[in-house]
Amino acid sequence: MKHTRQEFSPSDYYKSRQDYIQNWRSVDQTLYRLCREHYTHKDRSFVTAKVVIIGRTYSTGVERKVTTTGGQGSSISRVADLLFTHSDEVDQWFGRLGKVGGTLDVWDIRELLTIHGLLLKLLTKITNREQLVRSFVSKYLHFHNPNVPIYDSVAAGFLPSIVSMQGSQAALAEDVDGEYANYVHGFSK
């Protein structure tokens, strides 16, 4: 997906920070607590809670990309079902994710890109035409480890006006999503 380059505005950023503090910080804190207290994927009800709240609250588009079975909320339920069914594998990845630190050094970046790619690939099993749910995966990982950069098209559009994206083309492992990798490399600058 091609993103329109947008210019960074310090005044818009300040207004956004104020809006976050007044309206969104409590939402994030609630999600961080939910994901910290229910980090694994062994309890179906908490998997559903995490998927629904992250997927819908943060406009990830996951429901549009997952094939519905016809019932209300069936797309989001299919995501929760998949994570729950593959809980051993997903929890192994999240065990690794827990070791990613705040410095985003080369090891951290490689590890979070690998885990993002693995979860992204798992979810293509239920998406329409194997569409990528990049934004959902980054946000889902972020609330389990706040060191993981959140990806969305707005952030991707602004990033080039803040840092040079030269040299952001990473040598990628097979399962790594190139667009997210370039974003993370730019973000780490």
Cβ–Cβ under 8 Å, residues 50 and 4: no
pLDDT at 51 > cutoff 90: yes
Share of the chain above pLDDT 90, in %: 65
pLDDT of residue 172: 62
User: Could you identify the residue written with the tokens 């069914």?
Assistant: 85
One-character DSSP codes across 6-17: ----HHHHHHHH
pLDDT of residue 6: 65
Q: Closest by alpha carbon to 52, among 81, 94, 19, 22?
A: 81
Structure tokens at 81: 């079902």
| Whole-number CA gyration radius for the chain | 16
Q: What is the pTM of this model?
A: 0.89
Lowest mean pLDDT among 14-18, 49-53, 95-99, 129-133: 14-18
pLDDT at 170 > cutoff 60: no
Q: Closest by alpha carbon to 53, among 140, 114, 118, 112?
A: 140
Structure tokens at 115: 């885990």
Cα separation, 47 vs 45, in Å, equals 5
